[in-house]
Amino acid sequence: MAGHLRIERRPALRHPVLITAFRGWNDGAQGASLAASFLAQSWGAQRFADIDPEEFYDFQAVRPHVRLEEGVTRRIDWPENAFYDGAIPGLERDAVLLVGVEPNTRWRTFSNEVARVASDLGVELVVTLGALLADVPHTRPAPVTGSASDPGLVRELGLTSSRYEGPTGIVGVLHDAFRASGVPAASLWAAVPHYVSLAASPKAALALCERLAGLLGTTFDLGDLQRAAQAYELQVSAAVAQDEETEAYVRDLETRRDTLGDELDVPSGDSLAEELTRFLQEHEERSRGEHGDEPPA
């Protein structure tokens, strides 16, 4: 394993599955990154490598952070994509978790690098996690869709064939790289309420973890996430109750969800394009604000 990968150690793995999540457009209400971070922590996963960020980020768009250690030493934290490994409870197999930030540039190079790591480690299955904004209520379990492009994997895991056409993020490019390298890959997406998109959603993370466990044929200890999801629902409900129009809108969403069950309408290419445009505009506004408020070095 070479190129942009910085290796601390090479883990010995049993029938590994690679689980990925990236903050950014693929991560509505931080549902996917929260799920992956929770699993890494609960499984005691240990970091073994990362990808050098220098070639993959516009540091004016994704700025590094300066922080003090022990109140004296200044340290710069760069945006990163790090690999962790840990045993999956209840299974005779290990997980490799890739948790990071969607890169700004050279997506094909980045994706080929990740696919090369998966091949070198003998990864037998990749599961990418994502979260998208949708017309769903916060008072119901987050719907999750699972898909794959390989017909055999669709049948084996009980997924649906991917029929989406439209704009994509790093997750879509990664799937193309895994397909080219012959590594089976599936995708799980949780829907999060668009009216509370700025709040991290443990409910989406919980739904993704539950669906992932079912995909792998096991169960996870999700008690902490379940409690966080309950607290999240209470807090959002209290906020919604302050506005009659929003409260009525949520009741309408509840009725629609109860009628449709777990069926989730996959957003169109046009709606995802609008979401991407909005995400980029908000990101640019935040970057301008950070640049204007940045203190001298």
pLDDT digits (tens, 9 = 90+) for 92-145: 999 999 999 999 999 999 999 999 999 999 999 999 999 999 989 999 999 999
Alpha helix ranges (H) inside 65-198 = 107-120, 151-157, 170-181
Q: What pTM was estimated for this model as a whole? A: 0.85
- Of 232, 228, 236, 231, nearest to 38 by C-alpha is 228
Query: Cα dist. 247→62, 92, 199, 291 in Å?
Result: 36, 47, 17, 37
Give 130's DSSP letter. Answer: E
pLDDT, tens digit (0-9, with 9 covering 90-100), for 161-170: 777 777 788 9
Question: What phi, psi does 172 have (nearest 5°)?
Answer: -65, -40
Please list the pLDDT of the chain residue by residue as tens digits (297 residues): 457 999 999 999 999 999 999 999 889 999 999 999 999 999 999 999 999 999 999 999 889 989 887 777 788 889 999 999 999 999 999 999 999 999 999 999 999 999 999 999 999 999 999 999 998 999 999 999 988 878 888 887 788 877 777 778 899 999 999 999 999 999 999 999 999 988 899 999 999 999 999 999 999 999 999 999 999 999 999 999 999 999 999 999 999 888 876 555 444 444 444 554 555 455 556 555 555 544 443
Measured distance CA(286)–CA(60) in Å, rounded: 11
Q: Which residue do the tokens 């044929």 mark? A: 217
d(CA 134, CA 147): 18
Q: How far apart, in whole angstroms, are the C-alpha atoms of residue 237 and residue 251?
A: 11
Domains of the chain: which residue ranges? 5-293
Distance CA 226, CA 234 (A): 13
Architecture of domain 5-293: 3-Layer(aba) Sandwich (3.40)
How distant, in Å, are the alpha carbons of 89, 154, 268 from that of 150? 27, 6, 22
CA–CA distance, 127 with 240 (Å, rounded to integer): 34
Tokens of 22: 């990236």
